[in-house]
Amino acid sequence: MFLFGVILCDIGSEMDFRDFVNSRPRARRFVQTFLIILGLYVGSFPEGNIGWAGWSRQLDRLNPYLFPSHTDPTKRWSAIAWHMIVVGFWLSPTLQSMFSNKLFMWLGRNSFAVYLTHGLLLRTVLVRFIYGWTGASFSKEEVKDGEPIFHWVPKSQNWLVWMIAIPLWYVILYTVAHLWTTHVDSWCAKATKWLETNMFESEEHEKSVRTNGALV
């Protein structure tokens, strides 16, 4: 996905290509709309119960022809959908302008930190909100002459808990991500710069060494 984004950035920076696309607004609108709608369609491929609807059965019949065996088709369709929707947004100046405001730029700036920290916060914070603050995840009931029965801690059935817990968790997540981007990333950048300075010779130093060597 990183390379895909780099390719789109490089192509979008070509003025000839942008002029070619913008000079054909009707074709551009058709292509971008088609890609976004098709991306939403294939991206909705279900993780289970594929046979419940005709559209999911239709996509499922394409899986053997598109994807290697023993792979997760849900993830494959999600990746295809992501690429289609991104290209659709990329072709639209209106959508580009809409998603270039300060809020979305801030979300994008912190997206990598969200990726790094969300798993830990899911397992340590959100589960406590939903399942409670008990230290044991389950209790084990021994059954004579039988398999033990595990009684897992039930999740909260109170809708108010869900209404408060999930938004609060997102606030915590993006606060942590912002702090990570602001402080940890900057520290890593300084550490990388220090390593470059101490491990690699500067161009000026290399030139002086070459010049002195030639003089000698």
Q: Which residue has the higher pLDDT, 215 or 142?
A: 142
Please say whether the beta carbons of 73 and 43 come within 8 A: no
Of all helices (H) and strands (E), which one includes residue 82?
A: helix 73-91
Give me the pLDDT at residue 180, please. 93
Of the pLDDT bands very low, low, confident and very high (cuts 50, 70, 90), residue 41 is very high
Supply 61's token pair. Answer: 């019949």
How does pLDDT run across 164-181, given as a tens digit for each residue? 989 999 999 999 999 999
Give me the pLDDT at residue 85, please. 92
Of the pLDDT bands very low, low, confident and very high (cuts 50, 70, 90), residue 40 is very high
CA distances 140 to 132, 134, 155, Å, are 18, 15, 17
How does pLDDT run across 93-147, given as a tens digit for each residue? 888 888 888 998 899 899 889 999 999 999 889 888 887 776 666 677 777 777 8
Nearest to 59 by CA among 71, 70, 74: 74
Euclidean distance between CA atoms 203 and 111, whole angstroms:
35
How does pLDDT run across 46-104, given as a tens digit for each residue? 988 888 888 999 999 999 889 888 888 899 999 999 899 989 988 888 888 888 889 98
Euclidean distance between CA atoms 201 and 216, whole angstroms:
21
What is the DSSP annotation of 112-133?
A: HHHHHHHHHHIIIIIHHHHH-S
pLDDT at 1 over 70: no
